[in-house]
Amino acid sequence: MTELEQALAENRQLRQELELLRQKLDYVIRQLYGAKSEKLDPGQLDLFGELDSLGKQETSGADEAAEALIATAGPSRRKSAKERKLRLPENLPVEEVIIEPEPVKACPEAWRRIGEEVSEELDYEPGRFLRRRTVRPKYVRIAKPESPPIVAALPEKLLERGMLAPGLLAHIVIGKYADHLPLYRQEQIYQQRHGVELSRQTMANGVALVADWLRPIVDAMAAEQFTNGYVQIDETPIKYLAPGTGKTAQGYLWTSHRPCGDTVYHWHAGRGHECLENIIPHDFSGTLQCDAYGAYRTYARKHESIELAGCWAHARRKFHESFLQGESKAKAALILRLIGHLYDVERDLRGSRAGPRLREALRQSRSRPIVNRMHRILLHFEKSRRHLPKSLMGKAIHYALGQWPMLVAFVGDGRVEIDNNLCENAIRPTAVGKKNWLFIGAEDAGWRSAVIYSIITSCRSRGIDPYAYIKDVLTRLPTMTNHQIVEITPEAWAKANHGNVKRRSA
């Protein structure tokens, strides 16, 4: 190779590296300052005419697929002003104020009431503290004054001689884990607005007490969760205090979720596949839906009874990034459009409330041709070698093809969702919370947050008021046995109190 050829090769390599660095910089800037939504205008994806690099045969097939699959999206209907008007709930208590005209007040007998004008406002009165006093009278027999007095037994409590009642304990944990109020803020609110001195340490001890009592319920939820052969799982980092170092270390909340079922959080200080040994029962056999993190594959290789299902939301996100970058925009648009049609099928299935068998049948007839065509196109992209492996488009293609058996698992199993979004949505409350309280305490206390998050998230998914549930359960637990725990899980509680459970909007 001559010096000129060597210089030209180095120049090409430097240009490629510069382009990759620009893409990374643009991506970081977009993550920091750009819109987080991945929604796209359907008109943005009408770029199939630019697919010259696919080759005539593949381009023709792609265009035919696009024409056959493109569905015109109808215009969204904006709500009218009347529909957007604030509606006051009918179940709220009413406090009426009657204002009589001054002439009527002066001479009531001279006036006859013919109607009324009514105007309503939505008002709020802050919660209040109260001293709940339990009085147990002592008695002595009149005929035998020398005999010992008798007194009624004190009802069973969460903690003997404990100061915090179940209602206040429920309010504290809901404030921290549902409303994302750190304990020091709650301490300030109670002191400044109510004149109640309640230290952070006292509330922290109360949170630990609640977690101890609720843990058997979460254990029962976790055992039941893996009984139907399909579970979604994901993990999220959470900081915790490392005593003696003056710093925080990173732990993880592993989240397991079953669609239309409970969500259970599991605390571990690490992220290795060994953690899954303590989360998933050894006798579990079925499908585990997850992202591309290697720990799941390692675990599945060690357990032949487990199959993995992938997440199309993750695959789509990588093509979406390539599309926004402008690199191979037409090709990324084609893949995004085909993925969009997979989600169109899922939207129809949800609208018809299809069961697993019908979902599997319709996916085989409608989704299978789409994924097969997409697979051929991706293989063609890979063989063409026109995308650098480290480019956004190259990474998207490599991810999709590397995950392909997992990505298409949903087509042949009606129980499996198209993505892992339900599990990821369950993680969101923790993401909001850790921005407020920053870390969860010592490593050995992480399970307490996992227990309380499991209860609150599962209550919300079933339309249960978490406060009402926790207060009721904490009141009943001291008098219950271990065999009765299954009677007060969120699922059982919702069935027993179906009249008091709020119906979620569709």
The pLDDT score that the predictor gives to residue 63 is 46
> Counting beta carbons within 10 angstroms of the beta carbon of residue 269, is it exposed (0 to 12), middle (13 to 18) or buried (19 or more)?
middle
Q: What is the mean pLDDT of residues 361-384?
A: 94
Q: Is the pLDDT of residue 501 over 70?
A: no
Q: Which of 3-7, 308-312, 403-407, 433-437 has the lowest mean pLDDT?
A: 433-437
500/502 Cα distance (integer angstroms): 6
The pLDDT score that the predictor gives to residue 504 is 39
Q: What is the pLDDT of residues 278-303, one digit of tens each?
A: 999 989 999 999 998 999 999 999 99
Highest mean pLDDT among 158-172, 210-224, 310-324: 210-224
Between residues 55 and 448, the one the model is more confident about: 448
Q: What is the pLDDT of residues 347-363, one digit of tens each?
A: 999 999 999 999 999 99
Q: Give one word for 482, left, alpha or beta, with left for phi > 0 and alpha for psi -120 to 50.
A: alpha
Q: What is the mean pLDDT of residues 43-53?
A: 50
Confidence of residue 30 (pLDDT cuts 50, 70, 90): low
The pLDDT score that the predictor gives to residue 330 is 86
Q: Which of 69-73, 250-254, 258-262 has the lowest mean pLDDT?
A: 69-73
The pLDDT score that the predictor gives to residue 71 is 42
The helix (run of H) or strand (run of E) holding residue 254 is strand 247-257
Q: Which of 308, 323, 306, 285 is nearest to 403 (CA)?
A: 308
Q: Is the pLDDT of residue 57 over 50?
A: no
Q: What is the mean pLDDT of residues 9-22?
A: 77
Confidence of residue 323 (pLDDT cuts 50, 70, 90): confident
Confidence of residue 369 (pLDDT cuts 50, 70, 90): very high
Q: Is the pLDDT of residue 80 over 60?
A: no
Cβ contacts of residue 465 below 8 Å, gap of 6+? 459, 502
Between residues 483 and 6, the one the model is more confident about: 483
Q: Is the pLDDT of residue 250 over 90?
A: no
**3-state SS track over 388-408:** CCCCHHHHHHHHHHHCHHHHH
Q: Which of 88-92, 144-148, 240-244, 368-372 has the lowest mean pLDDT?
A: 240-244
Q: What is the pLDDT of residues 376-414, one digit of tens each?
A: 999 999 998 888 888 888 999 999 999 999 999 999 999
Between residues 469 and 388, the one the model is more confident about: 469
Q: Which two tokens stand for residue 239?
A: 């900081």
CB of 373 within 8 A of CB of 337?
no
Q: What is the pLDDT of residues 149-174, one digit of tens each?
A: 999 988 888 888 888 999 999 999 99
The pLDDT score that the predictor gives to residue 34 is 64
The pLDDT score that the predictor gives to residue 74 is 41
Q: Is the pLDDT of residue 6 over 50?
A: yes
The helix (run of H) or strand (run of E) holding residue 44 is none
The CB density around residue 239, as the number of other CB atoms within 10 Å, is 16
Q: Is the pLDDT of residue 51 over 50?
A: no
Q: What is the mean pLDDT of residues 338-344?
A: 94
Three-state DSSP state, 275: helix
CB of 332 within 8 A of CB of 374?
no
The pLDDT score that the predictor gives to residue 58 is 46
Summary mean pLDDT of the chain: 84
Q: Which two tokens stand for residue 62?
A: 């792609």
The pLDDT score that the predictor gives to residue 505 is 34
Report percent pLDDT > 90 for the chain.
52
Q: Give domain limits for the chain.
A: 201-310+421-496, 311-411
Q: What is the mean pLDDT of residues 407-424?
A: 92
Confidence of residue 277 (pLDDT cuts 50, 70, 90): very high
Q: Which of 37-46, 117-126, 180-189, 205-214 has the lowest mean pLDDT?
A: 37-46
Cβ contacts of residue 410 below 8 Å, gap of 6+? 309, 312, 363, 416, 417, 418
Q: Which of 89-98, 149-158, 439-448 has the lowest mean pLDDT?
A: 439-448
CB of 253 within 8 A of CB of 246?
no
Q: Which of 17-26, 70-79, 127-136, 142-151 has the lowest mean pLDDT?
A: 70-79
Between residues 231 and 37, the one the model is more confident about: 231
CB of 289 within 8 A of CB of 417?
yes
